[in-house]
Amino acid sequence: MLLLLLLLLLLLLLLLLLLLLLLLLLLLLLLLLLLLLLLLLLVLLLLLLLLLLLLLLLLLLLLLLLVLLLLMLLLLQLLLLLLLLLLLLLILLLLLQLLLLLLLLLLILLLLLLLQLFLLLQQLLILLLLLLLLLLLLLLLLLLLLLLLLLLLLQLLLLMLLLLMILMLLLMLLLLLLQLLLLLLQQVLLLLLLLLLLLLLLLMLLLLLLLPLLQLLLLL
């Protein structure tokens, strides 16, 4: 009987030892789980910080692009004003050319009339006067021709300027389109980053909800 009692006691002690070992193992596992959860929390916090930095950088880029767009719009307005001024100058030059051509026609008619008078009249004084008038008319014709040439040169220069301005406008429009595309891409990236942030926040909330449960388990 004593032997049986001793054996039972030994068995009880062994069972207690086994229970203690199991409890220790459970505690170790819980501690390991807690450490892993803390590591996960730290990693998630780092990811959140990185995503916030990326969002700030994207916002700064968006602001820069908006400023550039405003500057480009101002430049486009200035170019349009310059184009309007050039067109007005071209119209004025065309009007001046028409006036000069009319004057040339009048001078040619006067020359023809003087020549006819010169042929009709044979007196010396009249001939001298007619010659002087002819010389004056020739000088006027030369001046008018020179003015016409100058106006043509000015028109060519203005046309070249117009072409350059149109090319600049086209380049500015292309740059504006590129900037708009970049803005759209950045907005899409911002939306994606916001979605990632929301997901990470949800994960953080889940982990924060799980931490009290783990603490309760440890206390138990």
Domains in the chain: boundaries: 2-219
pLDDT at residue 91 tops 80: yes
| Banded pLDDT at 214 (limits 50, 70, 90) | low
Do residues 107 and 140 make contact, with C-beta atoms less than 8 angstroms apart?
yes
Counting residues of the chain whose pLDDT is more than 90, the rounded percentage is 0
Q: What is the arithmetic mean of pLDDT over 32-60?
A: 82
Give the pLDDT score at 15. 87
Spatial CA neighbour of 170 closest among 67, 35, 76: 76
Give the pLDDT score at 121. 64
Give the pLDDT score at 125. 65
Do residues 54 and 189 make contact, with C-beta atoms less than 8 angstroms apart?
no
Give the pLDDT score at 215. 63
Query: In sequence order, what are the residues at sequence separation of 6 or more whose Cβ sits closer than 8 angstroms to the Cβ of residue 86?
Result: 158, 161, 162, 165
Buried b (16+ CB within 10 A) or exposed e, 181-211: eebeeeeeebeeeeeebeeeeeebeeeeeee
How does the average pLDDT of the chain come out, rounded?
Answer: 81
d(CA 182, CA 141): 61
Two tokens, residue 151? 């106006």
Two tokens, residue 26? 């459970």
How many H-runs (helices) and E-runs (strands) does the chain carry? 2, 0
Give the pLDDT score at 142. 87
Lowest mean pLDDT among 126-140, 159-173, 202-216: 202-216
Lowest mean pLDDT among 27-41, 161-175, 206-220: 206-220
Give the pLDDT score at 122. 60
Query: In Å, how far are 13, 184, 200, 211 from 40, measured between CA atoms?
Result: 40, 34, 11, 12
Give the pLDDT score at 54. 84
Q: For residue 187, which amino acid is it?
A: Q
Give the pLDDT score at 135. 87
Give the pLDDT score at 213. 63
Stronger pLDDT, 220 or 62, i.e. the higher one: 62
